Amino acid sequence: MGAAMKHEFHPTILREYDIRGIIGETLGPDDARAIGRSFATLLRRAGGRKVAVGYDGRVSSPLLEHALVEGLTASGCDVVRIGMGPTPMLYYAEASAADVDGGIQITGSHNPANYNGFKMVFQGRPFFGQDIVELGRLSAAGDWQDGTGTVETRAVQDAYIDRMLDGLQGIAQDQLAALRIGWDAGNGAAGPALEALAARLPGEHHLLFTEVDGNFPNHHPDPTVEANLADLKALVAEKNLDFGIAFDGDGDRIGAVDGEGRVIWGDQLLSIFAEDLLRIVPGATVIADVKASRALFDHIAACGGTPVMWKTGHSLIKSKMKETGAPLAGEMSGHIFFAHQYYGFDDALYAGIRLIAASARLGKSVTELRGAMPAMINTPELRFQVDETRKFAVVEEVRARLANSPAQVDATDGVRVTTRDGWWLLRASNTQDVLVARAESESAEGLERLIAQIDEQLHLSGLERGPSVGH
Nearest CA to 104 out of 195, 16, 18 is that of 18
Half-sphere exposure of 52 (CA within 13 A, CB side): 31
For residue 10, being part of any structural domain is answered with no
- Kindly state whether residues 345 and 453 are assigned to the same domain: no
For residue 386, being part of any structural domain is answered with yes
DSSP reduced 3-state for 132: helix
Residues 6 or more apart whose Cβ sits within 8 Å of residue 79: 50, 51, 52, 53, 69, 72, 73, 149, 150, 151, 152
pTM of the entire structure? 0.94
Compute how many other C-beta atoms are within 10 angstroms of the C-beta atom of residue 152: 9
For residue 3, being part of any structural domain is answered with no
- Kindly state whether residues 345 and 361 are assigned to the same domain: yes
The pLDDT of residue 432 is 79
Residue 68 region, left (φ>0) first, then alpha (ψ -120 to 50), else beta?
alpha
Q: How many domains does the chain have?
A: 3
- Kindly state whether residues 320 and 407 are assigned to the same domain: no
For residue 162, being part of any structural domain is answered with no
User: What span, in angstroms and rounded, lies between the C-alpha atoms of 346 and 266?
Assistant: 12
User: What span, in angstroms and rounded, lies between the C-alpha atoms of 15 and 121?
Assistant: 15
User: What span, in angstroms and rounded, lies between the C-alpha atoms of 219 and 226?
Assistant: 11
Q: 447 is in which domain, residue-wise?
A: 377-460
Q: What is the CATH number of the domain that holds 24?
A: 3.40.120.10
The pLDDT of residue 466 is 61
Give pLDDT tens digits along the chain (471 positions). 445 589 999 999 999 889 999 999 999 999 999 999 999 999 999 999 999 999 999 999 999 999 999 999 999 999 999 999 999 999 999 999 999 999 999 999 888 889 999 999 999 999 999 999 999 999 999 999 999 999 999 999 999 999 999 999 999 999 999 999 999 999 999 999 999 999 999 999 999 999 999 999 999 999 999 999 999 999 999 999 999 999 999 999 999 999 999 999 999 999 999 999 999 999 999 999 999 999 999 999 999 999 999 999 888 999 999 999 999 999 999 999 999 999 999 999 999 999 999 999 999 999 999 999 999 999 988 888 898 889 999 999 999 999 988 889 999 999 999 999 999 999 998 777 899 999 999 999 999 999 999 999 999 999 876 655 544
358 by Cβ neighbours in 10 Å (0-12 / 13-18 / 19+) ranks as buried
Which phi and psi (to 5°) does residue 84 adopt? Answer: -80, 140
User: What span, in angstroms and rounded, lies between the C-alpha atoms of 348 and 211?
Assistant: 18
- Kindly state whether residues 136 and 181 are assigned to the same domain: no
The pLDDT of residue 351 is 98
For residue 7, being part of any structural domain is answered with no
Residue 442 region, left (φ>0) first, then alpha (ψ -120 to 50), else beta?
alpha
- Kindly state whether residues 79 and 27 are assigned to the same domain: yes
> Which of 371, 400, 417 is at the close of a domain?
371
User: What span, in angstroms and rounded, lies between the C-alpha atoms of 52 and 381?
Assistant: 35
User: What span, in angstroms and rounded, lies between the C-alpha atoms of 32 and 70?
Assistant: 9
CB of 276 within 8 A of CB of 131? no
- Kindly state whether residues 367 and 394 are assigned to the same domain: no
- Kindly state whether residues 54 and 128 are assigned to the same domain: yes
- Kindly state whether residues 366 and 391 are assigned to the same domain: no
- Kindly state whether residues 245 and 300 are assigned to the same domain: yes
Q: What is the CATH number of the domain that holds 388?
A: 3.30.310.50
User: What span, in angstroms and rounded, lies between the C-alpha atoms of 56 and 464?
Assistant: 39
User: What span, in angstroms and rounded, lies between the C-alpha atoms of 172 and 170?
Assistant: 6
User: What span, in angstroms and rounded, lies between the C-alpha atoms of 169 and 420?
Assistant: 44
- Kindly state whether residues 439 and 407 are assigned to the same domain: yes
Helix, strand, coil percentages (3-state) for the chain, rounded to 5, are: 40, 25, 40
CB of 253 within 8 A of CB of 333? yes
> Which of 339, 354, 371 is at the close of a domain?
371
- Kindly state whether residues 288 and 238 are assigned to the same domain: yes
CB of 267 within 8 A of CB of 288? yes
- Kindly state whether residues 346 and 398 are assigned to the same domain: no
User: What span, in angstroms and rounded, lies between the C-alpha atoms of 334 and 337?
Assistant: 10
User: What span, in angstroms and rounded, lies between the C-alpha atoms of 225 and 212?
Assistant: 20
Residues 6 or more apart whose Cβ sits within 8 Å of residue 426: 394, 395, 398, 414, 415, 435, 436, 437, 454, 457, 458
H/E run at residue 356: helix 348-362
| Cα-Cα-Cα-Cα dihedral sign, residues 338, 89, 24, 15 | positive
For residue 171, being part of any structural domain is answered with no
> Which of 371, 400, 419 is at the close of a domain?
371
The pLDDT of residue 380 is 85
Which are the catalytic amino acids?
109
H/E run at residue 84: strand 78-84
For residue 280, being part of any structural domain is answered with yes
For residue 128, being part of any structural domain is answered with yes
